[in-house]
Amino acid sequence: MKKASPPQSAKRRTAVNRSEMLLLSPILADLKWLVHGFSTRRGGVSKLATSLNRGDLNLGKVSWDSPRNVAENRRRLSAELGAVDMTQVALRQIHSDLIRVIDSSDHSIPKSGDALITDRPNLLLSILAADCLPILLVDVKLRVVAALHCGWRGTAKRLAEKAVGRMRMLFGSRQRDLRAAIGPGIRACCYKIGQEVAEIFAGQFPYAEQLLSWRNEPLNPLEEKYPRLFKTYKSPHYKTFHEPNDTQQMHLDLVAANVSQLREAGLSEARIWADAPCTSCHPKLFFSHRRDDGKTGRMMGVIGIRNL
């Protein structure tokens, strides 16, 4: 299958390094009324045993960390954002296409889902991630904001596209007034998938060949030394045979999939920022569930409206 095409923007738009613990999107950084950011793993008080940092900014409830550490890390992030007076709103994320619209009367009620939308000031919408994509949407005219959690399941269910539709339906947002920022997540270079996931995307998206690619994987030392031991032939009833020592592995471009959805929803390429780093490639900067076999922390994508 074809390798996914990169975004067609004229130049790479680099994240703004607000501090060691926070990245900002360059297409949102000029909005003075907006609070937004993507946390890194740096600058916290937690300490994962395998960490290369002095302190980890873990923002999620995980078995290896204490609630006190998580609370302090969240306080530090809010302080760095200048949002200590804002009320943080989060969901129990379930890899769905459920979208929750938050107003001032119900923001304290915990709910499950994977997208938050509000036009109310002083609420900090928060998405936890450690490879899945945190996506932030902003209506720059009507001052409506959204935070999305897009793993492969949410992406396959077109969560980003549906969130834009919900903003248009409920708030009257126009596509030309919308901007989107896709935060750090696992990119195609590191995102290996199996046949089942590949088939779901192939059946769901007409442009699936742009999202799926075969990539060469290095052999382990035993396979290199004894290749015949790892050769397995299938029944002659199969048209092909597979060799487990074959170095081909299917990869998914989750970023390109969400960029395509946002463009289908009416956003132009210039209003989509999708150049955040790969979480799996940068162990000192980001947590990664895939890279660390689940023994990891959580980062956040956050967005809110200042009460000016």
Evaluate if residue 24 carries a pLDDT over 70. yes
Residue 248 to residue 211: CA distance in whole angstroms? 16
**Residue 244 — pLDDT band, cuts 50, 70, 90?**
very low
**261-296 tens-digit pLDDT:** 999 999 999 999 999 999 999 999 999 999 999 999
State what percent of residues in the chain have pLDDT above 70. 84
- The SS3 of residue 264 is helix
Report yes or no: 179 and 27 within 8 Å, Cβ to Cβ: yes
Name the residue ranges covered by the structural domains of the chain.
16-186+253-305, 195-249
Structure tokens given for 296? 């990891």
Residue 74, SS3? helix
pLDDT at 219: 56
Q: What is the pLDDT of residue 15?
A: 86
pLDDT at 105: 61
CA dihedral in degrees (92, 93, 98, 101; nearest 10)? Answer: 50
Query: What is the DSSP code string of 186-201?
Result: --TTT-B--HHHHHHH
Q: How confident is the model at residue 235, as a pLDDT? A: 33
Selected from 3.20.20.70, 3.60.140.10, 3.30.565.10, 2.40.128.20, the CATH number assigned to the domain covering 16-186+253-305 reads 3.60.140.10
Average pLDDT of the chain? Answer: 88
Residue 31: partners with Cβ closer than 8 Å, 6 or more residues away: 138, 140
pLDDT in tens, 113-157: 999 999 999 999 999 999 999 999 999 999 999 999 999 999 999
